[in-house]
Structure 1
């Protein structure tokens, strides 16, 4: 039909650090854990791309944003 064939998923990708594409082999041993793991005070959450792929209502749909008038 009219759809292009799917490309194969690469089985091996070289490991690199998160700093400017420096290969892990060139990163000092003491710095490798710091580049690969989140800090204890960091919160790991879902990316916006992953949230966009998810079907169903989002958090914004469940939030009541109605205006309530108050008088003192």
Structure 2
């Protein structure tokens, strides 16, 4: 039962961390770039957002691989 609690604790911690990080980042990014995106065409905004989400995704995969590997080695 204790292994299940560890997995549950880890899952909740990671989920809260991601929600908090991306929530704060989204709000601050919107505030910082509001004027820039109001004057930009919709297809360019979508293209830029796709690039940003893709780079975040790749970065997070790399970080998760590094963290997982380092925890298994220790």
Q: Give the TM-score, by structure 2 length.
A: 0.29
TM-score, with length taken from structure 1: 0.30
Flag the structure with larger Rg. Answer: 1
- Greater share of helix: 2
